Amino acid sequence: MVKTYLSYNNIYSSLGFNSEAVVENISKGVSGLDTYEDASLLPEPFCASLISSKKIENEFNMIGDASKFTKLEQMMILSLKKVVDASNIPLNEKVGLLISTTKGNIDVLEKESDFPESRAYLSELGKTIQTFFGFKNEAILLSNACVSGVLAISAAKRFISEKKYDYVFIASGDLVTKFILSGFNSFQALSAAPCKPYDKNRMGINLGEVAASVLVTIDEKNLPEEAVEILGDATCNDANHISGPSRTGEGLFRSVKAALQEANITSENVDYISAHGTATPFNDEMESIAFSRLGMEKVPLNSLKGFFGHTLGASGLLETIVGMHSMKKNVLFISKGFDELGVSKNINIVKTNTPKKLNIFLKTASGFGGCNTAVILKKANN
């Protein structure tokens, strides 16, 4: 079996426009969440992590004509460009492009949008990004709710293992739009204050927008210091409910177990869990049950939603990249917003930045449709 690695990476978010700057802000405890009053997005005040369109445009105008690209396209192209440039590989037929998003350019459905409705088709988003860079292969789009970002890592690994590609660039992104805010608000899932994953007083989620990109490669030479090897991965459905997680954490339990099995390690070998932790009552409780069933109650765990909000189809990739940098620094980052345990199992939430020798971490995500994904990643340069 050929080894696959997560290599060069970028995070384009309210906490900065490259991974290093973002991670520096996280290590200082700075959150990208803020409170907004904008009736064009939601009739009531909301808390979210937003990126200024002006700032994005200013940066984009240095590489193209921003007026021809939607906000999401600009973010995703700027993010991916940094990874493509750092990787310095020719974009030939052995290089794939995988795009992970839940809603893509959904804001073009709004009456006042400057762009045609056809831009809402995800394949159009794929074409725009493919054409900008001149990828030889058509973009593959993955849209699997909130596990999309982690599942994209699995998908890239699978296409590489089938020898279709030697390299896959993953670009992920989602926006905070009227569409998304109104929907989650109708579920009464939004918290008006910064979210508090796993906390006794958690009130629900915040939404966030971000673009995150990574190179998946078989080349074990040209790797940055934070690179990781993909040891195992799995996705399992709860087969229970389309909008509520399983009460027993069945799908998450099974996906972690299957990923550990493929990685050929036990739960004791996992140094850290980068969990989903949306801060809804049901999700966080479900995760605690699944990790307890897995015998992983003592493994340090955090949710990064307190820094970025829930960034939907990009969240899994964004959080994986932060995990890579956390391992490089050998520091566990605080699970921001957490004060007092509010789930039924005694899981080990990271309360303060903690130095720890890190070698292997587990990234998980769960989403609507009952899907759960787990990926196990090991330091490449140990």
Partner 1 sequence: MVSLNGNVLFSDKSEDFPTFIKNAYKFFKTDYSKFFKMDNLSKLAFFAADVLLKNENLNEEENNIALVFSNNASSLDTDRKHQAAIENETEYFPSPAVFVYTLPNICLGEISIKHRLYSENSFFIFDRFNAEHLQLYANSLLRSVKAEKVLCGWVNFDKNNYEAFLYLVEKEGVFEHTKEEITRLYNTL
Query: Which residues sit at the interface with partner 1, rule CB under 8 A?
Result: 39, 43, 102-104, 106, 109-111, 120-123, 126-127, 138, 140-145, 151, 155, 158-159, 161-162, 164, 178-179, 182-187, 234-243, 250-251, 254, 258, 262, 367-371
How far apart (Å, rounded) are the C-alpha atoms in residues 347 and 333?
A: 16
Q: How far is the CB of 161 from partner 1 (least distance, A)?
A: 6
Contact between residue 153 and residue 317 where contact means Cβ atoms under 8 Å apart = yes
Q: How far is the CB of 360 from partner 1 (least distance, A)?
A: 20
Q: Which is nearer to partner 1, 312 or 349 (CB)?
A: 312
Q: How far is the CB of 162 from partner 1 (least distance, A)?
A: 4
Q: Which is nearer to partner 1, 60 or 184 (CB)?
A: 184
CA proximity to 180, closest of 68, 54, 335, 314: 314
What does residue 127 show for φ and ψ, rounded to 5 degrees?
A: -65, -40
333 DSSP assignment: P
Q: Which is nearer to partner 1, 203 or 324 (CB)?
A: 203
Q: How far is the CB of 364 from partner 1 (least distance, A)?
A: 15
How far apart (Å, rounded) are the C-alpha atoms in residues 292 and 256?
A: 12
Enclosing H/E stretch for 18: none
Query: What is the number of H-type helices and E-type strands within the chain?
Result: 10, 15
Q: How far is the CB of 274 from partner 1 (least distance, A)?
A: 21
Q: How far is the CB of 237 from partner 1 (least distance, A)?
A: 4
252 Ramachandran zone, left/alpha/beta (phi>0; psi -120 to 50): alpha
Q: Which is nearer to partner 1, 194 or 245 (CB)?
A: 245
Q: Which is nearer to partner 1, 143 or 359 (CB)?
A: 143
Provide the residue count of the chain.
Answer: 382
CA proximity to 133, closest of 177, 176, 78, 188: 78
Q: Which is nearer to partner 1, 122 or 299 (CB)?
A: 122
Q: At residue 4, what is the residue type? A: T
